[in-house]
Amino acid sequence: MLTQKHIAINGKHQKPIVIDVTYIENKTNLPVIIFCHGYKGFKDWGAWNVMAKQFANEGFCFVKFNFSYNGGTVEQPIDFPDLEAFGNNNYTKELDDLETVIDWIFNNDDIKTITDANNLSLIGHSRGGGITAIKAEEDNRIAKLISLASVSDFGNRMGAKQEIESWKKTGVKYVENGRTHQQMPHFYQFYEDFKANEERLTIKRAVSNLKIPHLIIHGNDDTSVLLNEANQLHNWNSKSKLEIIDGANHVFGASHPWGKDDLPEHLKEVVSKVIVFLK
């Protein structure tokens, strides 16, 4: 029987991390997948729940979570009731959150009894792809990495020099969420944190130094993160495998909310390619 547990654990930055664990009951030694959502994302977006069940049915323990400062709360993990938190998020907090989740998998007695923690893979979507690449390079507990529609450079997303100066002056810049129409704040600390940790946060450095299998999947109809970013990731790691999904957009045909029990065709293709890679 398929089981999904919802758990909140303490993060390193005074906010809880909300986690879902999906697996088939009465199985042991399950390989683990940790999934990291992207910018303005959350663990329950679109078809991610259906995807979690697909992986669980294939014999994986699938773990997805909300970054602690993604703007969700324990009570309301969907969408963004806490915009103050969203504005105070940054890349190093997300790396800390991912480390906390990995530590929890290795140390939680209930999880340890059903999983093979030494067979732990990371999947990152979009911005989460950059986070998982950095973590996979610096943490030797990670066995495999999958980048889904991943960004290849955090620095070039900071804006032009004039924009950054204006950001510094006002202390905040806003981005509209096209779906919820919220004005989502980014406090200037985001840029300061990036500059203070720039070497660590350089995806090119991380991917070039990867010593584990790396699968890169991208749609050639992605208008949010262009295909050339996938090509860059692939070029930086000659041993990586690049899969281009013809006609797929940034979310592989999914949308929010997703009311169906089946995955969209392109996301189905993603799942099957990942399973082949992991098995």
CA 16 – CA 7 distance, rounded (Å): 10
CA 92 – CA 197 distance, rounded (Å): 8
CA 248 – CA 38 distance, rounded (Å): 17
pLDDT at residue number 160: 92
Does residue 77 have a cis bond before it (omega within 30 degrees)?
no
CA 141 – CA 232 distance, rounded (Å): 25
CB 27 within 8 A of CB 114: yes
pLDDT at residue number 117: 87
Q: Which residue is it, tokens 């990152």?
A: 124
> CATH number of the domain at 2-278, out of 3.40.50.620, 3.40.50.1820, 3.30.200.20, 3.40.630.10?
3.40.50.1820
66-87 tens-digit pLDDT = 999 999 999 999 989 999 999 9
Token code pair at residue 272? 């099957």
In this prediction, the residues of the chain whose per-residue pLDDT falls under 70 are none
pLDDT at residue number 174: 96
253-278 tens-digit pLDDT = 999 999 999 999 999 999 999 999 99
Percent above pLDDT 70 for the chain:
100
Distances (CA, A) of 124 to 29, 37, 41, 132: 23, 6, 11, 6
Reduce the DSSP state of residue 121 to 3 states and report it.
strand
**Alpha helices, DSSP H, located in the chain:** 48-57, 83-87, 91-107, 109-114, 127-138, 161-170, 189-196, 203-208, 227-236, 265-278
CA 205 – CA 154 distance, rounded (Å): 12
pLDDT at residue number 187: 98
Reduce the DSSP state of residue 144 to 3 states and report it.
strand
Q: Which residues pair with 10 in a beta bridge?
A: 16
